[in-house]
A = this chain, B = another copy of it.
């Protein structure tokens, strides 16, 4: 029998939404779904390497690069972000409850074979280079996403 398919578009750049996306993706993978996560717009920020990567960019791409958070440990929350307190509270409380952090959730997704796809159009627009993203990501466009989504029952946009 064919495996169930699940796709998640991560458009949003907030920590809480990225955590929700990876919890659902990891849950689906644990139930033996084939899972594709498609990172587009601000959602790509969660997948940036933390360290600065030397790249050859124009000034506008550099500004985007500086303005956008670099990786899973730098994301803000969609709410309660005031004074930067929310994200550290959430990280604290997740640790206290032994919940997986976002970097751990990303690692688990990779172990479970979740397909992590970076949107090439976003990379073009924001001037993100492949070497700025964590290793092991595929690069593809909306056509590839739709190809997976039409085989899936659960298709979420987060």
> How many copies of this chain sit in the oligomeric assembly?
3
Per the 8 Å Cβ criterion, residues 103-158 of A in contact with B are 121, 124-126, 142-143, 145-146, 149-150, 152-158
Interface centre among A6, A96, A142 (most CB of B within 10 A): A142
A126 contact from B67, B93, B157, Cβ within 8 A: B93
Q: Is the CB of B154 within 8 A of A156?
A: no
Interchain CB contact under 8 A, A149 and B142: no
A79 to B68, CA, bound (A): 10
> Interface residue count for A (Cβ, 8 Å)?
52
Q: Which residues of B contact A4 (CB under 8 A)?
A: 150
Cross-interface CB contact of A125 among B6, B27, B99, cutoff 8 Å: B99
Interface residues in chain A, defined as those with a beta carbon under 8 Å from any beta carbon in chain B: 4, 6, 9, 11-13, 16-17, 20, 23-24, 27-28, 30-31, 33, 40-42, 60, 63-64, 67-68, 78-80, 89-90, 92-94, 96-97, 99, 121, 124-126, 142-143, 145-146, 149-150, 152-158
Not counting A24-B145, A155-B155, a sample of 19 additional A-B residue pairs whose C-beta atoms are within 8 angstroms of each other reads: A6-B146, A9-B20, A11-B16, A11-B158, A20-B41, A24-B142, A27-B142, A33-B146, A33-B150, A42-B78, A60-B89, A60-B93, A60-B96, A93-B125, A146-B154, A150-B154, A154-B155, A156-B156, A157-B157
